[in-house]
Amino acid sequence: MRNIFHPLIYLKTIDSTNNYAAQLLIKHQVEEETIILTDEQTSGKGQGDNSWESEPGKNATFSLILFPLFLSPEKQFLLNKSITLGVLDFLCSLSLGQKLFIKWPNDIYAGNRKMGGILIQNTVCGREFESSIAGIGLNLNQVNFNPVLPNPVSLMQITGKSYNVEEVVNHIVEAIDKRFLQLRNGSFDTLNTDYQKNLFGINEWKDYVVNNKVIKGKIRGVDDNGFLKVEMINGSEFSFQHGDINLIFI
């Protein structure tokens, strides 16, 4: 693992890198920006009850430990924005020739196909942040996906090139570092603006499912708590938590 320039724990296989990171934090045996990298997660986690599936050794599957002690807990969705934007920044640097998006709250899409996902687990004690674990999965070299997955895509499928997992992970963390520095320096407006302008479906009428009904809505942004703000046809606006609204892909 000579290409990784941050504290690194490499595991051939593990149930979940986020679970492993959480155990390290309980034991206080970990440095900030430690990366837990694995070839295979047997119980990889996605948002909510979703799982993350990845062919062993083909993709970037890792967790990054951060200590955002400077951030007040009520601003924790800004941490989500900084990490997600860091991953997006890395992909944009590759000049893939197609539009990249953040699908709220923190999936990465190339066009209308999912390239990666991020699961952020924060620990807060009272009015203070203690730690954050960012679990990141990015499709790199996988070309055969489970047919039940609706719209996956990998870098190799887009470019025809093979990618070194260690080098990609290193570049992703470097990009996150830059966004994390913006967060530390209080550049909240920059993070908010960049996150919103890259949102999938921003200011576009699209079909969504809410309470088992199809509605037409237009994303207007994300509030400070991370709720999605959606305008309805009648001009009213509602805020949704993750899982309460789902986009219908055409």
User: Are the CB atoms for 106 and 137 separated by under 8 Å?
Assistant: no
Domains of the chain: residue spans and CATH: 8-197 (3.30.930.10), 205-247 (2.30.30)
The dihedrals phi and psi of 222, each to the nearest 5 degrees, come to -130, 135
Q: What is the pLDDT of residue 4?
A: 63
* Cβ neighbours, 10 Å, residue 45: 21
CA-CA distance, 70 to 52, in Å (whole number)?
31
Report CA dihedral (85, 10, 156, 16) to the nearest 10 degrees.
-70
CA-CA distance, 88 to 74, in Å (whole number)?
24
Half-sphere exposure of 71 (CA within 13 A, CB side): 28
Q: Alpha carbon 4 to chain centroid distance? A: 20
Long-range CB pairs of 45-52 (<8 Å, 24+ gap) are: 45/16, 45/18, 45/119, 45/135, 46/117, 46/119, 47/105, 47/106, 47/107, 47/117, 47/119, 47/242, 47/243, 48/242, 48/243, 52/117, 52/119, 52/135, 52/137
Q: What is the pLDDT of residue 147?
A: 84
Q: What is the pLDDT of residue 17?
A: 96
Q: What is the pLDDT of residue 1?
A: 46
Q: Alpha carbon 150 to chain centroid distance? A: 18
CA-nearest of 107, 101, 131, 102 to 119 is: 107
Q: At what angle do helices 76-92 and 188-197 cross, to 10 degrees?
A: 60
Tens-place pLDDT, residues 179-206: 999 999 999 999 999 999 999 999 999 9
Residues of the chain with pLDDT under 70: 1-4, 44-52, 250
Q: What is the pLDDT of residue 48?
A: 47
Q: What is the pLDDT of residue 211?
A: 93
